[in-house]
């Protein structure tokens, strides 16, 4: 992120139009960078400078890897400082959450994102959306890309 902010203008981009995003674990990391402002603040950046965040099927509770390291069962949910949900706040950049069908997606992934959406809205965020892509599991790339492009177009108006 630091490199992007430091170099984007030299490459013809704008610091005001940076969108962070990711797929699965990368989406989890994108949300953590955006929600927990300390990560970017330590590098002289403000997460609210981001134009938006686009999350493809993020884990919003504490990640599987961290729970495994703690010896927790895979299906044991946990929300702590290693969880995007722990850092929910009011002044969140534009956010698009995308998941597969709740019956086909990884364990509870849709519901985690639905809870994140609800908590963000309860905190006063109005520019956040969640799409559940019926008929698709964790491999919902193709139907998600048009939604990503539509969101960016809408955000640019």
Q: Is residue 137 part of a domain?
A: yes
Dist CA 16 CA 5 (whole Å): 9
80 found inside a domain: yes
Contact in structure between 100 and 57 (CB atoms under 8 Å): yes
Give the per-residue pLDDT at 99: 97
- Residue 111 corresponds to which tokens in the numbers above? 């519901």
Does 4 map to a domain? Answer: no
119 sits in which H/E element: helix 109-122
Residue-level pLDDT at 141: 87
As for how many domains the chain has, the answer is 1
Whose structure tokens read 């955006």? 34
The answer as to whether 82 is a domain residue is yes
Residue 27 structural domain: 19-155
Does some domain include residue 11?
Answer: no
C-beta of residue 82 within 8 angstroms of C-beta of residue 35: no
CATH number of the domain enclosing 39:
3.40.50.1820
What confidence score (pLDDT) does residue 74 get? 86
| Residue 7 within any structural domain of the chain | no
CA distance 22 to 54: 7
**Euclidean distance between CA atoms 60 and 113, whole angstroms:** 6
Main-chain dihedrals φ then ψ at residue 3, nearest 5 degrees = -60, -45
Residue-by-residue DSSP string for 41-92: HTTT--GGG-SEEEEES---SS-HHHHHHTT--TT----STTSGGGG--SSP
Domain assignment present for 8: no
User: What element of type H or E holds 99?
Assistant: strand 94-100
Q: Which pLDDT does position 113 carry in this prediction?
A: 98
Chunked into runs of 10 residues, the chain (157 residues) has average pLDDT values of: 96 96 95 96 96 96 91 92 96 96 94 98 97 94 93 94
3 state SS of 123: coil
Whether 14 is covered by a domain: the verdict is no
Q: Is the pTM of this model over 0.85?
A: yes
């Amino acid at each position: 992120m630091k490199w992007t902010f430091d170099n984007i203008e030299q490459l013809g981009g704008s610091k005001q139009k940076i969108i962070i995003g990711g797929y699965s674990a990368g989406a989890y990391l994108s949300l953590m960078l955006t929600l927990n402002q300390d990560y970017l603040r330590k590098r002289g950046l403000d997460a609210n400078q981001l134009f938006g965040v686009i999350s493809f099927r993020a884990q919003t509770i504490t990640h599987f890897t961290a729970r495994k390291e703690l010896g927790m069962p895979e299906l044991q949910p946990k929300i702590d400082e290693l969880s995007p949900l722990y850092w929910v706040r009011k002044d969140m950049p534009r956010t698009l959450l995308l998941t597969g069908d709740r019956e086909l997606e990884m364990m509870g992934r849709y519901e985690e994102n639905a809870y994140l959406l609800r908590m963000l809205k309860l905190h006063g965020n109005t520019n956040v959306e969640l799409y559940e892509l019926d008929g698709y599991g964790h491999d919902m790339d193709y139907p998600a890309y048009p939604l990503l492009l539509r969101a960016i177009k809408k955000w640019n108006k």
